[in-house]
Amino acid sequence: MCGIVGYVGKNDAKPILLNGLKKLEYRGYDSAGIAIRNNLELPVIVKAEGKLVNLVEKTNKLNIFTTSGVGHSRWATHGKSNETNAHPHHSDDYNVIGVHNGIIENYQELKDKLTNKKYKFYSETDTEVMIKLIDYYYKKYKLGPIDAINKAIVRARGSYALALMFKDYPNQVWFAKNGSPLIVAKSDDSAYLASDVPAILNYTNKVYYVNDLECGVLEAGKVTFYDLNGDDITDKKELVTIDWKADSADLGGFEYYMDKEIAEQPEAIQNTINAYLTAENKLDFHSIGIKQEYLNDLDEIYIFACGSAYHAGIVAQHVIEDLAGVNVRVELASEFKYRNYKMNPKSLAIVISQSGETKDTYEAMLKAKANGIKTLAICNVKGSTITRDADFNAYTYAGPEIAVATTKAYSCQLVVLYLFALFLARTKYRINKENYYKLIDEVKQIPALVKETIDRKENVQRLSARFTEKTNVFFIGRGIDYAVCMEGALKLKEITYINSNAYAAGELKHGTISLIQKGVATIAIATQPTLIEKTVSNMVEVKSRDGSVVALTNDGNNVEQSSKYQLYIPKINPMFAASVAIIPLQQLSYYVCLNKGLNPDKPRNLAKSVTVE
């Protein structure tokens, strides 16, 4: 959601803060601002509604050199999207200035308390309340920033990441967090903080992850951490190396990140496969800590995820059940955390999150752990909140994904799930050695097949023109194809704003077919040999009602008589077909988006990482 940056060092803070905010644009925002104060008689706060370029234009007019500051891109929660509510916020006398990501749930209670203490409020935000609460404790007890911050974060309920500047400490930036992502880093003469790694990759790839209820301070070339008791805990913190290249978060000649990330999928998938294959062409998940005895006793798996990660989980349900013979339940994390059913003690909970910061998924994982269930995180970001608390971690190697609509991270999640299913099946002796190696070889073919499918984009480009004016699109399929429909429909709706919905093809006759009429587009996915005749029958049902059918199927399948348009993909083992079938749907969404004159990287109302409920 919101993006936070902070800097202390020897260089001019303004371009560093603005560059960091630009790298965090993918998180979604409706306003932005920076504050600088270290060598100034009075602090300078610059804020702008709308796109970051508006803030840049204002900041460029400042003829000021200052070596510390904080910045923020706001996703409106409390209060409308306007310049007044934009961050940074300040105490009445500018003693404390700060930015905040998250939601303070008891902000009204705290605001009433502060109002009684003669504080006045100019915005509608919970952030202003938090800044003034810290100011209140700072002045009341006169014990400095550590004491004031700790007293405030104990009183506040909710999730937050804070970056703060105090008048009496002009060359420092302070931070604290609970439930919202925050990283800090240092180089020889500078220190940084940010909501996410891309904001600081140009300066350093070694970061500290801030734990809940920790606070600390940035100074030039130095970072110090404190616990709730005010004790220095810096020696206990681990410095994590991020193995992403700085330019991997740049456009690299592409017009949009989504196009770049679609094109990067073969390499990302290959890197992910390589991480789990030994020199002997065997799969190795024991190295992440999973014991064979534990897997032998396993008789149920829960998968918790949101959005595209949930759709990857649906695919995995079919693959794991078919290969390993283990029952799988896939749950939306946002729903599971409110459910109350007895979990099987001989089970594993798999949680899937690109960022490792998805709040609902994290809370679902904690609930599973509270029930005594071991947890396996499939995540793209080492050291993220979910990976720090999971029992086991299986990382994807997609590199930074900037576009809001996931492509390569989703594809890498699929591959990890395939490989884990194969590993589990072999461990439980559900497949023989010959079939095990055969299936591994088929997974190894996926990068090349994805590349071949990407290269067929001309057919998708031509078809996209027919979708530009559509207002409703249906996706139908069966089994794994239905899971692909769910992801394809999500891609189309999130970046083109076309009302697109996925249905299990067999459910058409149970109500949905009443919506089919002349001109209504239906995309039918048919990659599963045992189900293709059934899906073709559903395509004929749509066509006979004057619906326009697009068939997405494998080379060699005869679907011309039952569809108006066809998109063909290379033949692949049906269990792994989702990895190839999703490519034309990603491309279709991208090209329709461009046809409509929209920005595919920054769809309205959406954020890359959903870190609040």
The CA distance from 282 to 143, in Å, is: 59
Question: What six digits make up the tokens of 331?
Answer: 């749950």
Question: What pLDDT does residue 542 have?
Answer: 85
Q: What's the whole-number mean pLDDT along residues 159-184?
A: 93
Q: Would you tell me the crossing angle of helices 408-427 and 307-324 to the nearest 10 degrees? A: 20
Higher-pLDDT residue of 233, 558: 233
Question: What six digits make up the tokens of 82?
Answer: 């306007």
Q: What percent of the chain has pLDDT over 70?
A: 97
Poorest-confidence range of 224-228, 559-563, 582-586? Answer: 559-563
- Residue identified by tokens 């069966």 is 478
Nearest CA to 491 out of 475, 504, 477 is that of 475
Q: Are 552 and 463 in contact (CB under 8 A)?
A: no
Tell how far CA 465 is from the center of its chain: 30
Question: What pLDDT does residue 79 have?
Answer: 67
pLDDT in tens, 400-414: 898 989 999 999 999
The CA distance from 184 to 517, in Å, is: 55
The CA distance from 39 to 69, in Å, is: 11
DSSP 562-584: G-SEEEEE----GGGTHHHHHHH
Could you tell me the sign of the dihedral formed by the alpha carbons of 381, 382, 388, 390, in that order?
A: positive
Question: What pLDDT does residue 555 have?
Answer: 95
Side-chain-side CA neighbours of 443 within 13 Å: the count stands at 30
Side-chain-side CA neighbours of 252 within 13 Å: the count stands at 14
Neighbours of 329 (CB within 10 A): 17
Question: What six digits make up the tokens of 131?
Answer: 């800044």
The pTM of this model reads: 0.83
Query: Is the per-residue pLDDT at 197 higher than 90?
Result: no
Query: Is the per-residue pLDDT at 610 higher than 90?
Result: no
* DSSP code, position 63: -
Residues that are catalytic: 2, 608
The CA distance from 288 to 376, in Å, is: 10
Poorest-confidence range of 76-85, 149-158, 372-381? Answer: 76-85
pLDDT in tens, 435-487: 999 999 999 999 999 999 999 999 999 999 999 989 999 999 999 999 999 99
Q: For the CA atoms of the chain, what is the radius of gyration?
A: 26
The CA distance from 492 to 496, in Å, is: 6
Query: Is the per-residue pLDDT at 598 higher than 80?
Result: yes
Could you tell me the sign of the dihedral formed by the alpha carbons of 386, 387, 389, 393, in that order?
A: positive
Mean pLDDT of the chain: 92
Phi/psi for 471 (5° steps) reads: -110, -20
Tell how far CA 110 is from the center of its chain: 31
Q: How far apart are the first and last CA of the chain?
A: 11
Neighbours of 77 (CB within 10 A): 16
Question: What pLDDT does residue 338 have?
Answer: 86
Question: What pLDDT does residue 445 have?
Answer: 98
**Strand, helix or coil for residue 47:** strand
Query: Is the per-residue pLDDT at 605 higher than 60?
Result: yes
pLDDT in tens, 476-526: 999 999 999 999 999 999 999 999 999 998 887 777 777 777 878 999 999
ω into 570 cis (within 30 of 0): no
Question: What six digits make up the tokens of 363?
Answer: 């809370």
User: Which distant-in-sequence residues (6+ apart) come within 8 Å of 357 by Cβ?
Assistant: 180, 181, 381, 384, 385, 386, 609, 611
Name the pLDDT band for 602 (thresholds 50, 70, 90): confident
pLDDT in tens, 537-583: 888 888 878 788 999 999 999 899 899 999 999 999 999 999 999 99
The CA distance from 470 to 141, in Å, is: 62
Neighbours of 276 (CB within 10 A): 24
**Strand, helix or coil for residue 89:** strand
DSSP 180-194: S--EEEE-SS-EEEE
Residue ranges and CATH numbers for the domains of the chain are 3-247 (3.60.20.10), 257-444 (3.40.50.10490), 457-595 (3.40.50.10490)
Question: What pLDDT does residue 78 have?
Answer: 63
Query: Is the per-residue pLDDT at 606 higher than 60?
Result: yes
DSSP collapsed to 3 states, 231-272: CECHHHCCCEECCCCHHHHCCCCCCCHHHHHHHCHHHHHHHH
User: Which distant-in-sequence residues (6+ apart) come within 8 Å of 121 by Cβ?
Assistant: 111, 114, 115, 128, 129, 132
Question: What pLDDT does residue 206 have?
Answer: 87
Nearest CA to 307 out of 267, 268, 352 is that of 352
Query: Is the per-residue pLDDT at 246 higher than 70?
Result: no
